[in-house]
Every structure is written in C-alpha cells, then in structure tokens.
Amino acid sequence: MLAAMKLVLKWLLSSAALLAVAHLYSGVQVDTFTAAMVASLVIGLLNTFVRPILVLLTLPVTLVTLGLFLFVINALMFWAASEMLADFQVTGFGAALLGSLMYSVLGLVIDSALQGLFAKS
C-alpha cells in the first residue's frame, strides 16, 4: 500500500515538474495537467523499457564520450514522448536536450524528497 502511494505521488509530482519545465522553457509545451500526466507516464515507460536497450547498444559511444552520450539518450526519450502525444510538444532536439535536463534535475529533487518522506514511515 505504501509503495503504491509513493508511486502515485511520484507520478503526480513528475507531472507537475513537466508543467514547470514547460512554464520555464518555451521549447517545451504541455497543454493541461492531464496531458502532463500522460506525458510523464510515457516518458517513464520509455525510460523503463527503451532506454536500457539504447544504453546497451550505444555503450562504446558512451564510454568514448565519458558518459556524456547518456544526455543524448535522455533527450531522445523526451523527444520520442513528444512525438507520440499531441498535447506535449518539443520544438526540436536542442529543446529536448534542455527540457530533459531540467526534467531530470526536478526528478532528482522529487526522488530525494520522497525518499526522505517515506524513510521516516
């Protein structure tokens, strides 16, 4: 029960983070909170299922670039989600790179806050 509550809370906060990215950066647009919820779900699913395959396939490039290529993979996942959804738009790869960086930083803050919140329970 506690794990399900943590998952739902993380999803809602990630959706709010995506809205914050769209508010702070004009290269990312999200129409509604519902669209942000769907987009954060799609980004999460892409990161869970597609990203590990891409990381494995691009391991040599990632090693040569000392891990910097992982930023490209994150941007591709962010961009792919925007291509799948009508209410979530990213204007180009540069916008996807910056938007995914902002979204990742907010995600780290959310994870840290939730870890502290649920560790006391």
Q: Is residue 101 part of a domain?
A: yes
What integer pLDDT is reported at residue 17 of this predicted model? 98
What integer pLDDT is reported at residue 120 of this predicted model? 67
Q: Is residue 32 part of a domain?
A: yes
Q: Is residue 8 part of a domain?
A: no
What share of the chain has pLDDT > 70, as a percent?
A: 98
Q: Is residue 9 part of a domain?
A: no
CA distance 35 to 88: 7
What integer pLDDT is reported at residue 121 of this predicted model? 57
Residues in Cβ contact with 105 at an 8 Å cutoff, skipping those fewer than 6 apart: none
Phi and psi based region of residue 113 (left: phi greater than 0; alpha: psi -120 to 50; beta: remaining): alpha
Domain count, the chain: 1
pTM to 2 decimal places: 0.94
Q: Give the Å distances, CA to CA, from 83 to 32, 42, 46, 110.
A: 17, 11, 12, 25
What's the domain range around 50?
A: 25-119
Q: Is residue 48 part of a domain?
A: yes
Q: Is residue 14 part of a domain?
A: no
Q: Is residue 2 part of a domain?
A: no
Q: Is residue 96 part of a domain?
A: yes
